[in-house]
Amino acid sequence: MDISIEKKIEDMDISSPPPETEPLRQYWFMKKLRENSSEFQRKKGFRPRAFIQTFGCQMNERDSEKMAGTLEVSGFDISGEEEEADVILYNTCTVRDNASQRVFGRLGVLKGLKDKNPGLLIVLSGCMMQEPTVIEKIKASYPQVDLIFGTHNIYKLAELLYYRISSGSRIIDIWKDEKDIVEALPSNRKYPYKSGVNIMFGCNNFCSYCIVPYVRGRERSREPKDILREIENLVDDGVKEVMLLGQNVNSYGKGLKPEISFPELLRETEKIEGLKRIRFMTSHPKDLSDDLIEVMAGSKKICAHLHLPLQSGSSRVLEAMNRHYSREDYLSIVRKLREKIPDIAITSDIIVGFPTETEADAEETVEVIKEALFDGAFTFIYSRRTGTPAASMDFAMTDEKIHECFDRVLKTVQETARKQTLRFVGRIMPVLVEDVNEKDPEMLTGRIPQNTVVHFKGDRSLIGEIVDVRLDEALGFYYMGTMVRE
């Protein structure tokens, strides 16, 4: 954790009322929670334990790291065992229905844990909590839940948890609208050598199938100086790779004074000494500029990988999705990328079974996959989200036909991804070593700049380092390699 944050927490005078300004107010509550944690440890003989499970995207993962940091500096041990925890926090996702159903399913299990441990606190946060129907369902059917808050006030975890412990009553604190971006919060990173960095929050695109703008709010960009300072601090703490995060990073900077574009932010990020790799996601095709492609092509730090959601290969369906680009627009971007950055890996998101989509539309998606030559894609069957325009649209295909189309699309993605993987066999590539291989302790696992996984023999002391590896064999979506020593 940032030493300056720890000192500010230590210096808080908790005999006085909490400050009104953030994040000092949260530091005050973190110190108050430390008192509670010390009392807990005196009685039980161990520190209170917190378990966090994250559902959803990289932005949720980053939010969870911040909440884990808050709990850790508040005197909690972060536990990997849900059954042993004294606080269980689910950071939820509502983009697809199956994620929501998983949360409700887990709440039934947590009731049993709470029956065994009445002092267990169950906390729900994240996008799912921004839906009024979800809150009403929890109120009516899940009395075991102690604390609920949404996406706009995650930074208030310490305050909300303190008041829940003090009052003994359930707290529901959902904000309809976003407020200020609160900086300088503790963080417990999952990886010491890489980190996500939020550069913006919210979304203004209102794709007809997507609930995100309704639960994450409107776009708000962080000040570039705050982003760059955060990255500098991460690099000082051993981070070699950062992932710049936003629902649509290509629209970063709009509304800031002076205004700054995303390519300009990338140029400034690349100047940071000690930073080895830069990644970013997600890019909306309608806002992907020639300037961004030029910056990527000329960079020594930006990884040759772009996640560029297609969603559909049918221009008619794309219009119904409110995506603001056509099939031809998308393929034109792909051609520019491959011309300027020949080694680039392009991955995507694809929805099958969108309302009004026909079998012919799905076949157009298959054709685009073949032409775009994706290195991989997250492929989903459309999930109806209440409150979005698409929820009232009629389906053109039966469930059986949708699943047939999905299988065809998925098979095509797998075929193109295998072909793309073959192109680097025999090359020596820089690999950021991430961990010991799960199946063989003598093997290491890492990623090349194109984000493809590589397994190779090596010592665990190399974790977090970038080493040269010859890619000997492509096995579907990963490589087997041999480390090349100088």
Distance CA 265, CA 231 (A): 12
* 366 vs 479: CA distance, rounded Å: 26
How many CB atoms are located within 10 Å of the residue 247 CB?
A: 21
Using an 8 Å Cβ cutoff, are 113 and 120 in contact?
Answer: yes
Please indicate whether residue 402 or residue 95 has the higher confidence score (pLDDT).
402
* Distance (Å, whole) CA 314 – CA 379: 15
Look at residue 1 in the predicted model and tell me its pLDDT.
56
pLDDT tens profile 327-348: 999 999 999 999 999 999 999 9
* Residue indicated by tokens 């267990």: 120
pLDDT tens profile 145-177: 999 999 999 999 999 999 999 999 999 999 987
Among 265, 252, 192, smallest CA distance to 220 is for 252
> Following CA atoms 478, 482, 483, 486 in sequence, which dihedral angle do they give, to the nearest 10 degrees?
-140
pTM recorded for the entire structure:
0.93
Tell me how far apart the alpha carbons of residues 120 and 308 are, in angstroms, rounded to a whole number. Answer: 42
Cα separation, 153 vs 136, in Å, equals 19
Which among 431, 442, 436 has a CA at the least distance from the CA of 465?
A: 431
Average pLDDT, the chain: 96
What local confidence, expressed as pLDDT, does residue 486 receive? 67
What digits encode the pLDDT tens for the residues 181-205? 898 899 999 999 999 999 999 999 9
Reduced to 3 states (helix: H, G, I; strand: E, B; else coil), residue 409 is: helix
Paired sense of beta strands 49-54 and 77-78, if any: parallel
What is the mean pLDDT of the segment spanning 41-56? 96
Output the CA torsion sign for 392, 395, 399, 403: negative
pLDDT class of 52 with cuts at 50, 70, 90: very high
The band of 97, judged by pLDDT with boundaries at 50, 70 and 90, is confident
Residue in the structure block whose two tokens are 């378990």 = 51
pLDDT above 90 (res 261): yes
User: pLDDT of 216-246, one tens digit each?
Assistant: 999 999 999 999 999 999 999 999 999 999 9
Q: State the pLDDT at residue 264.
A: 98
- Residue 311 is given by DSSP the state B
* Backbone dihedral angles phi then psi of residue 167, each to the nearest 5 degrees: -85, -30
Can you read off the two tokens belonging to residue 187? 């963080």
Cis geometry, peptide bond prior to residue 23 (ω within 30 degrees of 0) = yes
The pLDDT of residue 230: 96
Torsion of CA 471, 420, 282, 270, to 10 degrees: 40
Residue 381 φ/ψ, nearest 5 degrees = -85, 135
DSSP 316-330: HHHHHTT-S--HHHH
Q: pLDDT digits over 264-293, tens only?
A: 999 999 999 999 999 999 999 999 999 999
pLDDT of residue 96: 83
Q: Is the pLDDT of residue 395 over 90?
A: yes
